[in-house]
Amino acid sequence: MPAPVRPAVFVGGRLLDGRSPDAIPDGVLVTDEKGRIVGAGPASGVAVPRDAERVDAAGLTILPGIIDCHVHLSLKLEPVADQVQRSATDLVVRALQSGRDFLESGVTTVRDAGYTPAGIKRAFAGGAFPGPRTQVSCTPLSQTGGHGDGWTPSGAILETAVGDLPPGIADGPDAVRRATRLQIRAGADWIKVMASGGVLSAADSPDASQFTVDEIRAIVEEAKAAGIRGTFAHAEGTTGIKNALRAGITSIEHGDLIDDEGIDLMLERDVPLVPTFNINFALMDEERVARGDVPPWAVEKMRYLFKRQQAGFRHAVERGVRVVMGTDSFNGLYPPAELAYLSEFGLGPFRAIRAATNEAAALLGLADVVGTLEIGKSADLIAVSGDPLSEPSLWRDPARIVFVMQGGRIVADRRGA
C-alpha cells in the first residue's frame, strides 16, 4: 500500500507555476493531508502550518509534474529476435516498470498511445503499483497493411496477443465503428487512429495516407457518442494529417510533414500538435542501431524525416499552432528530455514547460486537477536543480530532477545525492 499523505511545506525555492514565466524567487508551497495544494506564493504571503513536514528547496525550481501525452508503457526498442519472445505477461510487467520509471523521472501523468490495457491504469490509480496518472487508448486502429499492422514481408506477424486488448485492424466505416466500440468496451479513454504510415512499420511509408476521411470521421463520431476523452492521430504524412483534421480529430501526433494547409486547419479547429522528438533521436542513436534495436527500414525512413520534422515544427510554432508535450517514449527512454528539444526547436524554455504542464492538462481534460501549482489542485510537482528558463538543457540530465511528488506523496527525493 502507498505511504500515507502528510502535509508538507516547500521553502527557499523558486516557484514556476506553469502559467506565468515570472518565477517567484523565494516561494513557499504548502500541501495538505489530502494531497492538495493549499498555499503557493511568495514567502511573505503564505501561512505555514506548524505540523507540516518542511522540505528545503534552496537552489531548486519547483514546477508542476510533467505530463506526457504520448507514451507506450508496454513497448521497447529491441531486436526482432527479442520481440518475438515477449508474452502478454512480459508486456504487463514492462508496463508496470515503465510507469514506475517515468514517475520517478518526474512524469506524473501520461496518455498511453497504444498497446497498454486498461488494467494498468487501474493498478496505478488504486495504488497497487507506483505509476503516473494514466489514460489509455488500448489498441490503435489501423487499416490493413497500415502503421499498426504487424505484418512483415516474411508473412510473420510481429504482435503479442494480449487478452484484454481487442484487435485494431479494420477497413471501411462500418468495420472501424465496430473496432472503436471494442476499444471503448475494453476501457479506452482515447481512440488512437493511424492516419498515415510510419517509421517502425515494415509495409508502408510515412508519406502514405491511411484511412479515408469517412473512416476517421466514423471513429470520431463513435468516440464522441461514448463520451470518452477524444481521438488522436498518428499522422506523419501531409495528406494523413489533413484527413485526420477534416474528420474532427482531437490532436495530431508527430506531424512530421505538415504543410501550410494543414497548419491552417489546425489553427481553424484549435487542434494541438504533439511532436515527439524524443523517439526520433532514439531511432537515430548509433548504439541502438548497431545493437539491432532499430530495424534498417526504420533507420532509412527516420533519416528522411529527421530534418523535415524540425523545420515543419518551427514553422507551425511561428504560425501559432498550440503545442502539447508527447515523447513517444518506450521502456528505457527518458521523457523529460523532450522539453529540451521543444525549447531548442522553436518553442523556447517557458512555452516548452507550458506544453508539458498547463497545455497538456487541458488536452487530457485534467485542467482542474493538475498542470499548474494552484490552490485546490493535486500536489503533483517536481523540483529541479537550477533554473530551466535560463538552462533548458538541464531537462536532458536525470540528475537535475531531484524531487518528485504525486498527489502529496513523495515519489523521489534525491536532494542529498
* Per-residue pLDDT at 152: 80
Cβ-count burial of 6 within 10 angstroms (0-12 exposed, 13-18 middle, 19+ buried)? middle
* Per-residue pLDDT at 1: 61
| Helix (H/G/I), strand (E/B), else coil: 29 | strand
Q: CB–CB of 180/141 below 8 Å? A: yes
Q: Where are the extended beta strands (E) located within 8-50? A: 8-15, 24-31, 37-42
* Per-residue pLDDT at 151: 85
Low-confidence ranges of the chain (pLDDT < 70): 1-2
Total-model pTM:
0.97
User: Residue 253 and residue 387: Cα distance in Å, rounded?
Assistant: 29
Q: For 227-242, what is each residue's pLDDT tens digit?
A: 999 999 999 999 999 9
* Per-residue pLDDT at 160: 87
Any idea how long the chain is? 417
Q: Where are the extended beta strands (E) located within 136-269? A: 190-194, 230-235, 251-254
* Per-residue pLDDT at 23: 95
* Per-residue pLDDT at 65: 98
Superfamily of chain region 8-65+371-413:
Urease, subunit C, domain 1 (2.30.40.10)
Domain ranges of the chain: 8-65+371-413, 66-363
User: Residue 124 and residue 357: Cα distance in Å, rounded?
Assistant: 20
Residue partners of 167: CB distance under 8 A and separation at least 6: 139, 179, 182
CATH number of 66-363: 3.20.20.140
Query: How crowded is residue 414: how many other Cβ atoms within 10 Å of its Cβ?
Result: 15
